[in-house]
Amino acid sequence: MKRRTFLAGSGLLVGAPAVIIRQSSARSVSHGTRFPFSVASGDPTADAVVLWTRLARDTVDTSPVASTPVNVEWMVATDRRMTKVVRRGVAVAEPMYGHSVHVDVAGLAPDREYWYAFRCGNELSPIGRTRTLPSERADISRFRFNVVSCQNWEQGYFDAYDGMAADDPSFVMHVGDYIYDVSRGGGVRDHERRALPMTLDDYRRRHALYKTDAALRRAHETFAFIFTLDNHDALEDNTTDVTQLKRRAAAYQAWYEFQPVRYAPLPASPAMQIQRGYDIGNLMRLTIPDTRQFRDSETPCASVSDSKFAFGVYEQACKANDAPERSMLGAGQELWLKDRLQNTPAQWNMIASTVKMTPFDMRHNDALYRYLQSWDGYPAERNRILDQITAARVPNPVSLSGDIHSYIISSVVRNVGDDPRTAPMTELVGTSISALWPEPLDKPMAQGLPLNPHVNYYESQQRGYMRCTVTRDALLTDLRTIDFTDKPGGTVRTSKRFVVENGKTGAQEI
Ligand SMILES: [Fe+2]
């Protein structure tokens, strides 16, 4: 086979020393195949990271670029000009997965930056940057990561991501709602269609649209992402309805095809491995349960709720909700989570939970209302987890979540009214990248604050993300807030700072 320079003709790398790689046959590729979705990396470990791209003619044409598998060359270097190549190979983009490319590059060094690129025929991808995690059990003294959630295309631009250029996080933890399936119209920009996505092609088009946001693209080119999924990414519920299962299968497959993640769902399968666990040295254990695929019905109390109150999102609490067998995680996953808590080697123990764990009571028409799609809908299981934390004396447990488009800094008490100083766990809820929190949802929360003294900060009208810096002494959380999202170009600043001191529960503003 003829040999030629991998990067010949790349305008990005003029003057870079030639790097030699075997050229693969690209005869089956349609004319114009390239990398309109750029590149991304994710699921980092101490010695590996998943590199991603997707072959396409452009961002709106989702038809296959070929009827057959296509070879895509990849390379990883230790410098941004990609002159010091340390890994290279050829990946196969399968038509069955929309010619997406996922390369799980192993044998990398811990806690260091890498740069990577792809080539298909004569087409070169942009160069991406990524980072591996520190070695498991290594004695590290400082670690930084960001927490994001809820990027609603219609409701705003994703420019909050550009604030991360000043952060240098080791990774970005996305706790759900990467896309929105629902379309409301009347926002700052439109979805590609109003109807709910149902098929694989529908979901592919929705993901393709989201990947064109310029700030999101820059973030993917620069940082490794770790994900979990929430209700707008794919359907919730432990459902047996065939239409719903087909839709969930389509959502899972499109999600996989567009994300730099390690575990592929089987085509047309309504099941996918979402749970993840990471050890960052002996400093921090991050556990990411799947809070959607196995959860019991979200509406056991629907019959007593007022659908005109808070769009029906907050529901009247009822006896069925307190049933001990109700589960958000499913029995197997609950055991897995408890085991990770009990046997942790780490000083800080984070659970990334999509929805908030903190209980929150609201009053409406002299009745008690709660947000039952969060952990308030699964109190028995939450109490079992808190009991485990207490019994095993888990060091510094912290829940990181999103979902409600608000910053909430709180202590996870067992029951509203408990002394926050006795709470087993701290929670940091990050606000949304762009999704709004409308008044009917905000007002009952704001009015409920006096009833919930374990919540020390609630702010629903700001968009942004959280920057978490973990050290031996403390967890410092900066609320990184953008000044506007209704057009591109917003500026991110730190609006508040909270510290959780080693050995103490609860966050204090500093
Ligand atoms: Fe959301």
Same domain, yes or no: 326 and 198: yes
Q: How far, in Å, is the centroid of ligand 1 from the Cα of 150?
A: 4
Q: How far, in Å, is the centroid of ligand 1 from the Cα of 168?
A: 25
Instruction: Specify the 3-state DSSP secondary structure of 379.
Output: helix
Instruction: Specify the 3-state DSSP secondary structure of 333.
Output: helix
Q: How far, in Å, is the centroid of ligand 1 from the Cα of 217?
A: 20
Same domain, yes or no: 120 and 149: no
Q: What are phi and psi of 123, to 5 degrees?
A: -90, 130
Same domain, yes or no: 196 and 111: no
**Residue 137 included in any domain:** no
**Residue 194 included in any domain:** yes
| pLDDT mean across residues, the chain | 91
Across the strands, what pairs with 408?
429, 458
Mean local confidence (pLDDT), 440-447 = 96
Q: How far, in Å, is the centroid of ligand 1 from the Cα of 405?
A: 6
C-alpha 407/C-alpha 431 separation (Å) is 5
**Residue 231 included in any domain:** yes
Mean local confidence (pLDDT), 216-225 = 98
Same domain, yes or no: 91 and 228: no
**Residue 187 included in any domain:** yes
**Residue 343 included in any domain:** yes
Q: How far, in Å, is the centroid of ligand 1 from the Cα of 177?
A: 5
Tokens of 216: 């999101």
**Residue 91 included in any domain:** yes
Mean local confidence (pLDDT), 247-253 = 95
Confidence label for 131 from pLDDT (cuts 50, 70 and 90): very high
C-alpha 215/C-alpha 232 separation (Å) is 21
Last residue of a domain, one of 131, 160, 188: 131
Same domain, yes or no: 388 and 492: yes
Same domain, yes or no: 123 and 170: no
Q: How far, in Å, is the centroid of ligand 1 from the Cα of 307?
A: 19
Q: 133, 280 in Cβ contact below 8 A?
A: yes
Instruction: Specify the 3-state DSSP secondary structure of 506.
Output: coil
Which amino acid belongs to residue 350?
Answer: M
pLDDT tens for residues 295-313? 987 777 777 778 889 988 9
Q: What is the CATH number of the domain that holds 112?
A: 2.60.40.380
Same domain, yes or no: 118 and 147: no
Q: How far, in Å, is the centroid of ligand 1 from the Cα of 280?
A: 28
Q: How far, in Å, is the centroid of ligand 1 from the Cα of 176?
A: 7
Mean local confidence (pLDDT), 206-222 = 98
Assess whether pLDDT exceeds 80 at residue 148: yes
Mean local confidence (pLDDT), 181-207 = 96
Last residue of a domain, one of 73, 96, 131: 131
Last residue of a domain, one of 73, 102, 131: 131
Same domain, yes or no: 117 and 224: no
Q: What is the CATH number of the domain that holds 280?
A: 3.60.21.70
Mean local confidence (pLDDT), 474-478 = 98
Q: How far, in Å, is the centroid of ligand 1 from the Cα of 314?
A: 15
Same domain, yes or no: 380 and 404: yes
Instruction: Specify the 3-state DSSP secondary structure of 382.
Output: helix
Assess whether pLDDT exceeds 70 at residue 234: yes
Q: How far, in Å, is the centroid of ligand 1 from the Cα of 131?
A: 27
Same domain, yes or no: 117 and 158: no
Burial class of 510 by CB neighbour count within 10 A (0 to 12, 13 to 18, 19+): exposed
Q: How far, in Å, is the centroid of ligand 1 from the Cα of 231?
A: 8
Q: How far, in Å, is the centroid of ligand 1 from the Cα of 2?
A: 51
DSSP state letters, 247-292: HHHHHHHHHHHHS--S-PPPTT-S-----EEEEETTTEEEEE---S
pLDDT tens for residues 374-397? 999 999 999 999 999 999 999 999
- Domain extent at residue 89: 3-131
Assess whether pLDDT exceeds 60 at residue 227: yes
Q: How far, in Å, is the centroid of ligand 1 from the Cα of 144?
A: 24
Tokens of 201: 């092609």
Which parts of 442-490 are beta strand (E)? Answer: 455-459, 463-471, 474-482
Q: How far, in Å, is the centroid of ligand 1 from the Cα of 218?
A: 22
pLDDT of residue 14: 33
Q: How far is CA 360 from CA 43, 379, 390, 451, 453, in A?
A: 33, 11, 21, 8, 10
Q: How far, in Å, is the centroid of ligand 1 from the Cα of 402?
A: 7
Q: How far, in Å, is the centroid of ligand 1 from the Cα of 477?
A: 21
pLDDT tens for residues 7-53? 333 333 333 333 333 344 444 556 567 899 999 999 999 999 999 99
Tokens of 30: 């349609």
H or E element that contains 399: strand 397-401
Q: How far is CA 93 from CA 56, 70, 100, 407, in A?
A: 11, 5, 6, 40
H or E element that contains 172: strand 172-174
C-alpha 135/C-alpha 347 separation (Å) is 15
Q: How far, in Å, is the centroid of ligand 1 from the Cα of 149?
A: 7
Same domain, yes or no: 125 and 148: no
User: What 3 state SS string does 105-117 have?
Assistant: ECCCCCCCEEEEE
Q: How far, in Å, is the centroid of ligand 1 from the Cα of 486?
A: 17
Same domain, yes or no: 226 and 125: no
How many domains is the chain built from?
A: 2
**Residue 136 included in any domain:** no
Assess whether pLDDT exceeds 90 at residue 244: no
Q: How far is CA 294 from CA 149, 298, 320, 323, 329, in A?
A: 21, 11, 18, 16, 6
Q: How far, in Å, is the centroid of ligand 1 from the Cα of 336?
A: 26
Q: Cβ–Cβ contacts within 10 Å for residue 330, how many?
A: 17
Q: How far, in Å, is the centroid of ligand 1 from the Cα of 181?
A: 10
Q: How far, in Å, is the centroid of ligand 1 from the Cα of 154?
A: 12
pLDDT of residue 243: 87
Mean local confidence (pLDDT), 447-458 = 97
Q: How far, in Å, is the centroid of ligand 1 from the Cα of 232?
A: 7
